[in-house]
Amino acid sequence: MNRGPTATLLRPVESLGRFSLDVVESLGRFGLFLGQAAVWIFIPPFKVLQLLQRIHFIGFRSLSIIVLTGAFTGMVLGLQVFITLSRFGSEAFLGPAVALSLIRELGPVLAALMVTGRAGSALTAEIGIMRITEQIDALTVMALNPMRYLIVPVIVAGLLTFPLMTAIFDVVGIYGGFLVGVKLLGLSQGTYFGEMQTFVDMTDIMTGFWKSLSFGVIVTWVCAYKGYHTGHGAEGVSRATTEAVVLSSVLILVWDYFLGSVLP
Amino acid sequence: MIRVENLQKAFGDQRVLQGVTLEVQTGEIMIVIGRSGGGKSVFLRHLLGLLRPDAGRIWVDEVDITELRGRALDRVRERYGVVFQGGALFDSMTVFDNIAFPLREKKRSLGPSEIRDRTEEKLAQVGLSGAGHKFPDEVSGGMRKRAAIARALVTEPEIVFFDEPTTGLDPVLVNAIHHLIVDLHRKFRFTAVMVSHEIPEIFEIAQRVAMLHDGVIVEVGEPKVIQESANPVIQQFIRGQIEGPIRAT
């Protein structure tokens, strides 16, 4: 029986099927990874020292970049929004415009992107190197769960530090806007902060908080997963690092839109 | 005793293990030899529970570890010590902390002073006294291997696995590491399973040798039996000849 032509015709379908199965399988593995980590968060003994080290690595060591980018984001906002508002004679609303943009949107997103670039990539590389040098296998055969030792502290540190980093970003950004709007462009200090108090309420702050909290999970989850499942050799680690940063960044923006449309 | 029965593993189209059957007696040093890339490390990773076989069974005493998951498998692993090919020392810790790590994490009844004493003792046994404060990347390859052996033995395991513990070392260091393993084995009487292709050195330390070729164990026996085997595969391998049934690819 000649199956040649049929097989040729079916090949694209076969490829599509294989591709679909691969995607479903990796999504399943990806979800399972977070599920396992979530379970291990609640099982003692808790690795407090590892958690503190991760908080230091993800949070404290990202402070300078957060302050720097926060300040300039606020300054740019102050300048651009002032120019726009002055066309309508509404400069008085500079304070709330800067604060709302930062608290609801730019603070969580930019802080998350900055921490992804600084700490997320390093995290993937570190865990990836541990994978290819069999350090993760060593933990496993010592009957010490790598999830508990490596992954849980990272994800919990992300949960704790991202909202704090975002808060710092917001505050520094608001003062950046203050510097430009009040000190350089002559808006009164009372107007800048007074209107801000009128228009910014707890709902806005909570929107930013939920965003930053979920970004903390997304970034640490993606970066830890990519490192944990890294390929072979230096090239594998380098590919995992690139994929972690790209995927985290895309997910931050997609998830930001989703939350932005769901949250009040 | 470790008993492996008809172990099979394939990665895609490549059938790495095609029915490995082997018994390792309690307290003996069993060395599995075979070509580089011939599946020795894959075989070892099955014994460690790091890979799941496509078919076959592995019994550690009376427990079939191919059936085990999670904590049940960890209970078997608590009897293990493992020396990985590259040492697999944690590079963020000093040599001392690497060796103390299993004690700190698994022997929670031990106090800090006892952990320190045991770690120092193990460092001395492998000839690394005074090097404990260094990080793995600050010591030589031989010292890293010694540290890895010390870490594997610090919890006094019943079964120790060695994955090519002398790869990349000069002949003097190879002998030194082999003698260290024999000394420690004499002292602690653990069961040792080693994969290696250090010919002829391994014949001096092994109590039995198994040759893994084309995914199966082609012969098992005492070193003398293997050295005098009539099997052309074994003869070609131990003599390092280019011509023969093993193709140099």
pLDDT in tens, A140-160: 999 888 999 999 999 999 999
* CB contact set of A163 (below 8 Å; sequence gap of 6+): A209, A212, A213, A216
B80-83 and B208-213 beta bridge pairing: unpaired
Q: Is residue B197 predicted with pLDDT exceeding 90?
A: no
Q: Is residue B248 predicted with pLDDT exceeding 80?
A: no
Nearest to A137 among B50, B78, B89 (CB): B50
Mean pLDDT calculated for residue range B207-233 = 93
Which residues on chain A are in Cβ contact (under 8 Å) with B105? 142, 144
**Structure confidence by residue, pLDDT tens digits, B33-45:** 998 888 999 999 9
Q: For chain A, what is the total number of helices (H) and then of strands (E)?
A: 12, 0
Q: Which residue has the higher pLDDT, A101 or B142?
A: A101
Q: Quote the pLDDT of residue A36.
A: 92
Q: Cα separation of B2 and A239, whole Å? A: 39
Nearest to B88 among A137, A144, A145 (CB): A137
Nearest CA in chain A to B47: A141
Beta sheet of B63-64, edge-to-edge order: B14-24, B2-11, B55-60, B63-64
Out of A170-179, A255-264, B12-21, the most confident range is A170-179
B80-83 and B63-64 beta bridge pairing: unpaired
Q: Quote the pLDDT of residue B167.
A: 83
Q: Quote the pLDDT of residue B249.
A: 63
Nearest CA in chain B to A132: B88
| Encoded tokens for B50 | 């790091």
Q: Is residue A2 predicted with pLDDT exceeding 60?
A: no
Q: Quote the pLDDT of residue B130.
A: 87
Which residue numbers of A have CB closer than 8 Å to B's CBs? 129-130, 133-135, 137-138, 140-145
Residue intervals of chain B classified under CATH 3.40.50.300 are: 1-78+158-248
Instruction: Choose the mutation target among B46, B79, B84, B108 for the interface with A, i.e. most A CBs under 10 Å.
Output: B84
- Inter-chain residue contact B88 with A143, CB threshold 8 Å: no
Backbone phi, psi, residue A76, to 5°: -65, -45
**Structure confidence by residue, pLDDT tens digits, A13-22:** 999 999 999 9
Q: Quote the pLDDT of residue A45.
A: 84
Q: Is residue B200 predicted with pLDDT exceeding 90?
A: no
Q: Is residue A108 predicted with pLDDT exceeding 80?
A: yes
Q: Quote the pLDDT of residue B243.
A: 78
Nearest to A138 among B49, B74, B82 (CB): B82
Write down the mean pLDDT value for chain A.
Answer: 93
Question: Using omega within 30 degrees of 0 as the cis cutoff, is the peptide bond preceding B245 cis?
Answer: no
Mean pLDDT calculated for residue range A106-126 = 96
Interface check B85 vs A, CB under 8 A: yes
Alpha helices in B107-222 (DSSP H): 112-125, 141-153, 171-188, 202-205
- Quick one: pLDDT band at residue B215, thresholds 50, 70, 90? very high
**Structure confidence by residue, pLDDT tens digits, B88-145:** 999 989 999 999 999 998 888 888 999 999 999 989 988 888 899 999 999 988 899 8
Interface check B90 vs A, CB under 8 A: yes
Q: Quote the pLDDT of residue B172.
A: 84
Q: Quote the pLDDT of residue A228.
A: 95
> Looking at residue B15, what DSSP letter applies?
E
Strand partners for B2:
B24, B60
Range of weakest confidence among A24-33, A152-161, B178-187, B238-247: B238-247
Strand partners for B30:
B193, B208
Q: Is residue A1 predicted with pLDDT exceeding 60?
A: no
- Inter-chain residue contact B89 with A135, CB threshold 8 Å: yes
Nearest CA in chain B to A46: B105
Instruction: Choose the mutation target among A40, A123, A133 for the interface with B, i.e. most B CBs under 10 Å.
Output: A133
- Inter-chain residue contact A143 with B106, CB threshold 8 Å: yes
Interface check B43 vs A, CB under 8 A: no
Whole-number percent of chain B with pLDDT over 90:
62
Q: Quote the pLDDT of residue B109.
A: 85
Beta sheet of B191-195, edge-to-edge order: B80-83, B159-163, B191-195, B29-33, B208-213, B216-221
Which residues on chain B are in Cβ contact (under 8 Å) with A141? 48-50, 77, 80, 82
Whole-number percent of chain A with pLDDT over 70:
99
Instruction: Choose the mutation target among B68, B91, B135 for the interface with A, i.e. most A CBs under 10 Å.
Output: B91
Q: Quote the pLDDT of residue A154.
A: 96
**Structure confidence by residue, pLDDT tens digits, A26-37:** 899 999 999 999
Instruction: Choose the mutation target among A40, A135, A142 for the interface with B, i.e. most B CBs under 10 Å.
Output: A142
- Quick one: pLDDT band at residue B217, thresholds 50, 70, 90? very high
CB A151 within 8 A of CB A37: yes
| CATH dotted code for B1-78+158-248 | 3.40.50.300
Q: Which residue has the higher pLDDT, B120 or B173?
A: B120
- Inter-chain residue contact B91 with A140, CB threshold 8 Å: no
- Inter-chain residue contact B74 with A143, CB threshold 8 Å: yes
Which residues on chain B are in Cβ contact (under 8 Å) with A36? none
Backbone phi, psi, residue B35, to 5°: -65, 155
Interface check B102 vs A, CB under 8 A: yes
Q: Quote the pLDDT of residue A72.
A: 97
- Inter-chain residue contact B86 with A134, CB threshold 8 Å: yes
**Structure confidence by residue, pLDDT tens digits, A206-216:** 999 999 999 99
> Looking at residue A151, what DSSP letter applies?
I
